[in-house]
Chains A and B, each alone.
Chain A
Amino acid sequence: SYELTQPPSVSVSPGQTASITCSGDKLGDKYASWYQQKPGQSPVLVIYQDTKRPSGIPERFSGSSSGNTATLTISGTQAMDEAEYYCQAWDSGTVVFGGGTKLTVL
């Protein structure tokens, strides 16, 4: 079955750039989406179709994808960005989520 691999944790200092990767076989040939989930809250879509940002999501969130890796980048990271982040893609008609990355803003 298809798998998406994310680093379990990423740390970043306030104001710096955080990058979270998501790896899967030929992921660049599929669309990746990214979700932010804070404790006790529902997931929120922050990036869809690799690079698109939904209305209401700050411009500091951006996405890219190439080859086997999709990347979520948060520029000028703020304390409020501390959360779990999940990537998601479709493969053969089923949905696959990455294992999640805990972003810590130190």
Chain B
Amino acid sequence: QVQLVQSGAEVKKPGASVKVSCKASGYTFIGHYIHWVRLAPGQGLEWMGWINPNSGGTNYAQKFQGWVTMTREESISTAYMELSRLTSDDTAVYYCARDGGIAARDWFDPWGQGTLVTVSS
């Protein structure tokens, strides 16, 4: 079955960077865009951007431009999201999700299990 499995929880100090991985299985990795979404405590879902696993092309939400980097490693069907210059406001659960169509304009299904990133001094 189609599945996205993310890396484990992280604890980081302010100013540090974090890199979260998302391993895909059960489908052709390069056939669907991967999105990253976060859920901060007491907040709603926030879209961060997408990566095209085929070309490596990316599109970041304006808020995250300049401090998020999305990459992929085709050979192991894995996408990565790296967030730099972390602050306490970045404490959140980070999800990867597969775009439902063949381009970045559709629904998100399925989602990874989420990775909790805690930023604390």
Known: A93-B59, A95-B35. A43 touches B47 (CB 8 A): no
Taking CB as reference atom, which chain B residue is nearest A4? B44
Tell me if B107 and A48 are in contact (CB < 8 A): yes
Query: How far is A43 from B4 in the complex, measured between Cα atoms in Å?
Result: 13
Among the stretches B12-20, B69-77, B78-86, B109-117, the one at the interface with A is B109-117
Total number of residue pairs linking A and B with CB closer than 8 Å: 58
Q: Name B's interface SS.
A: strand
B29 within 8 A of A: no
- With A43-B95, A93-B59, A95-B35 in contact, is A48–B44 under 8 Å at CB? no
The residues in A between 1 and 44 inclusive whose CB is less than 8 angstroms from any CB of B are 1, 31, 33, 35, 37, 42-44
Total number of B residues with any Cβ neighbor in A under 8 Å: 24
Residues of B within 8 A of A48 (CB): 100, 106-107, 109
User: In the bound complex, do residue A95 and residue B47 qualify as a contact, i.e. CB atoms below 8 Å apart?
Assistant: yes
* Chain A interface residue number, banded: 20 to 34
Contact between A45 and B108 (Cβ–Cβ < 8 Å)? yes
Let me know if A90 and B45 touch, CB within 8 A.
no
**Interchain CB contact under 8 A, B109 and A45:** yes
B11 at the interface (CB under 8 A from A): no
**A23, chain B: closest CB distance, angstroms:** 15
| C-alpha gap A88/B100 in the complex (Å) | 13
Subset of 22 A-B contacts with CB under 8 Å: A33-B107, A42-B113, A43-B37, A43-B45, A43-B111, A45-B108, A45-B110, A48-B100, A48-B106, A48-B107, A48-B109, A49-B107, A86-B44, A93-B59, A93-B104, A94-B47, A94-B61, A96-B47, A97-B37, A97-B47, A98-B44, A100-B45
